[in-house]
């Protein structure tokens, strides 16, 4: 006699487990504690076996029968349904351990020796804010291009087109790592080329003709802290990243040799960086030494002298001078890169020397060994040419428009 839902629902537990059979090997086992469990009795390879099909009422009678029929089809085809279920459990366990978030965090940690703590934190924060909420719990091997695109569209809807592009790039790197570590077989990000909205080219702000020389003059006449003046001057003269300058320590500097060796742990890509110093840069550092030479940092924090000043000091100072939206700390790097490349033939500078001085990562995999002293003589001459060029701009001897990257 086949079961019905009313009979199962009204069935009361007894002192010992008892079965209510439905046919075809399907039955519901009622335990003394009241629990009702669907099971399938079957024979496979000459052995009597039992397959669990779910708990009533979460699994109703109709669904239990469907599962019974699916199991019996497997048996008819020579497959043990219990073995299939165990395989599915293992796969589910592996998938749960290899979610997009789990693989992403492992990828970031794996890059710890190559990145600064700041870059590592920024990368993680980007994914935490814009990728993990929708993709983090998903097994990385199951994420489709459409699903990834839906996540990017969420970011685009709030107008953050640059962030959407950045999140896609970092997600692509996570998928590549997942492929390399056998957690997924494809990179859905590669299918989204051309699918994202392109941001308007508003991140380049042109300082009007004569504007950059005026900026240099404004820096020299800055009415704030002398530390800030020296920092701004050195940003222009050395065009390092803001954090690299603001967190500089006196032990990194050899002013007699006119050299500044930034250790790997403070560089974005975790490689030591040698900055040849022009006479003007040495002079600025010596003036700063009169104020902080007995401290660890060239630019100590005003509230806690054992720590470096805030990286925001450069941006705040530029804002006070009227350059909000026109100039940032990174703008000095952009200005130097533009001008040096424009003058490289005239000044006899090799393009690679400029790239090394900007501490850009070598894209040629065959040059994996990094020599921080590469092109040193040429870079030393270049840095002095650059400093002299800035002096000419300030004096008005050369006035040119420059495109400055403002962000």
Write out the H or E segment, with its range, that includes residue 378.
Answer: helix 376-395
CA-based R_g, the chain, Å: 33
> Edge-to-edge strands of the sheet including 253-254?
253-254, 259-262, 273-276
Burial 360-381 (b: 16+ CB within 10 A, else e): eebeeeeeeeeebebbeebbbb
Q: Which of 330, 379, 380, 394 is catalytic?
A: 330
- Residue in 119, 138, 370, 405 annotated catalytic: 370
The question of whether 330 is a catalytic residue gets the answer yes
C-alpha closest to that of 326 among 201, 160, 215, 237: 215
Examine the residue annotation and report whether 241 is marked as an active-site residue of this protein. yes
47 is catalytic: no
Catalytic: 153? no
Distance (Å, whole) CA 273 – CA 358: 9
238 Cα distance to chain centroid: 27
268 in active site: yes
Active-site pick, 119, 271, 320, 360? 360
Give SS3 for 264: helix
Pairing mode, if any, of strands 253-254 and 273-276? unpaired
Q: Which of 268, 271, 311, 405 is catalytic?
A: 268
Query: 36, 67, 170, 333: which is the annotated catalytic residue?
Result: 333
Q: Give the three-state DSSP class for 98.
A: coil
Q: Report d(CA 51, CA 38) in Å as an integer.
A: 9
The CA distance from 75 to 90, in Å, is 21
- In this structure, the dihedral spanned by the alpha carbons of residues 273, 274, 280 and 285, taken in order and rounded to 10 degrees, is 70
Sheet holding 18-23, edge to edge: 18-23, 26-30, 36-44, 47-56
Active-site residue, 344 included: no
Q: Of these residues, 241, 379, 380, 394, which one is catalytic?
A: 241
Tell me the C-alpha to C-alpha distance, in Å, between residue 127 and each of 59, 96, 132, 146, 157: 38, 19, 6, 18, 17
Give the separation between CA 3 and CA 174, rounded to whole angstroms. 51
Sorted by sequence, the CB contacts under 8 Å of residue 90 that are 6+ apart come out as: none
Active site residues: 241, 268, 330, 333, 360, 370
């Amino acid at each position: 006699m086949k079961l019905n839902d009313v009979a199962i629902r009204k069935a009361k537990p007894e002192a010992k487990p008892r079965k209510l059979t439905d046919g075809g090997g399907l039955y519901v086992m009622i335990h003394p504690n009241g629990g009702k469990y669907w099971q399938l009795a079957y024979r496979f390879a000459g052995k009597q076996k039992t397959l669990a099909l779910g708990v009533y009422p979460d699994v109703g009678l109709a669904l239990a029968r469907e599962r019974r029929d699916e199991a019996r089809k497997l048996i008819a085809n020579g497959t043990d349904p219990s073995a299939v279920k165990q395989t599915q459990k293992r796969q589910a366990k592996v998938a749960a351990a290899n979610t997009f978030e789990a693989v992403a965090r492992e990828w970031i940690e794996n890059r710890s020796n190559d990145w600064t703590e700041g870059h590592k934190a920024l990368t993680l924060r980007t994914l935490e804010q814009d990728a993990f909420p929708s993709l983090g719990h998903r097994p990385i091997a199951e994420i489709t291009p459409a699903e990834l695109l839906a996540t990017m569209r969420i970011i685009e809807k709030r107008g953050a087109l640059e962030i959407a592009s950045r999140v896609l790039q970092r997600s692509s790197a996570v998928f590549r790592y997942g492929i390399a570590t056998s957690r997924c077989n494809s990179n859905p990000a590669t299918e989204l080329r051309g699918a994202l909205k392109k941001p308007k080219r508003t991140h380049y702000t042109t300082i009007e003709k004569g504007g950059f020389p005026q900026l240099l003059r404004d820096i020299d006449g800055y009415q704030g802290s002398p530390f800030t003046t020296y920092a701004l001057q050195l940003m222009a003269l050395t065009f390092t990243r803001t954090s690299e300058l603001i967190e500089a320590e006196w032990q990194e500097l050899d002013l007699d040799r006119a050299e500044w060796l930034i250790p790997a742990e403070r560089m974005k890509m975790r490689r030591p960086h040698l900055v040849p110093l022009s006479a003007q840069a040495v002079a600025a550092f010596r003036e700063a030494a009169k104020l902080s030479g007995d401290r660890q940092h060239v630019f100590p924090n005003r509230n806690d002298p054992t720590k470096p000043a805030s990286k925001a000091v450069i941006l705040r100072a530029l804002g006070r001078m009227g350059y909000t939206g026109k100039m940032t700390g990174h703008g000095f790097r952009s200005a130097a890169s533009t001008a040096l490349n424009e003058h490289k033939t005239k000044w006899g500078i090799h393009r690679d020397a400029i790239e090394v001085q900007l501490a850009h990562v070598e894209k040629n995999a065959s040059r994996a060994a990094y020599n921080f002293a590469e092109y040193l003589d040429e870079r030393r001459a270049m840095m002095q040419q650059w400093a002299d060029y800035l002096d000419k701009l300030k004096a008005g001897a050369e006035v040119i428009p420059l495109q400055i990257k403002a962000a």
